[in-house]
Amino acid sequence: MSDRFFTPTNKVDSVKDRDMNGTMSVEPQVMTVGGGKTLDANRYATKKTVAQGMLDVALLTANASQLKYVLQVGQEHQFYTIMLVLIITSLVLQGLMVVLLGPLAALNISKLSQQYRAVVINHLVMGFSMLVMAGDTIKMGLDNGFLLRRNSTTLIP
């Protein structure tokens, strides 16, 4: 396969002559991908937001599974309270991220009036995402894994 289909290229549309101040002006660069298709920043941002939402759903289900496990084991879990606090905090932050990602997906970053709002919401979501990642990292360090124990004839993870 040719590399030109995967390598973004920048091209300058045209160079204008000198303006009244004597400086040369250049038309804005257009990002092209592959066979000359232009890259729409708004469409890219929307797809990125949708993909991030799908990953958040996967993380949400993993946290729900961990919460179920910790609640089933109960006080016997070595780090029951800490794990419970971390899981619930992670779930709340993920809920806030979902609430913020909805309006973010609806914003059109091509419009100057909506760019600032999109940047602020994006930074909030990124901050919440970093907090969720830090909490999940601590959670994984405290989790003993699925230790099997026998309760009469039933194996309990």
Answer whether 145's CB lies under 8 Å from 154's CB. Answer: no
Reference 104, options 56, 52, 54, 55; nearest CA is 52
pLDDT number for residue 149: 55
Domain ranges for the chain: 3-38, 41-156
pLDDT tops 50 at residue 33 = yes
Q: Provide the sign of the torsion angle of the four alpha carbons 24, 27, 30, 36, taken in this order.
A: negative
pLDDT above 50: residue 7:
no
CA trace torsion 45, 47, 50, 100 (10° rounding)? 10
Average pLDDT, the chain: 75
The dihedral over CA atoms of 141, 146, 149, 150, expressed in degrees to the nearest 10, equals 160
What is the average per-residue pLDDT within 117-142? 89
CATH number of 41-156: 1.20.120
98: left (phi over 0), alpha (psi -120 to 50) or beta: alpha
Question: In this predicted structure, what is the pLDDT of residue 145?
Answer: 57
Give the pLDDT confidence of 40-78 residue by residue, as tens digits: 777 887 787 778 778 878 888 888 888 888 888 888 888
Q: Report which of 49, 141, 65 is spatially closest to residue 103, judged by C-alpha positions.
A: 49
pTM above 0.85?
no
- Residue 156 has a pLDDT of 53
Mean pLDDT within 80-99 = 90
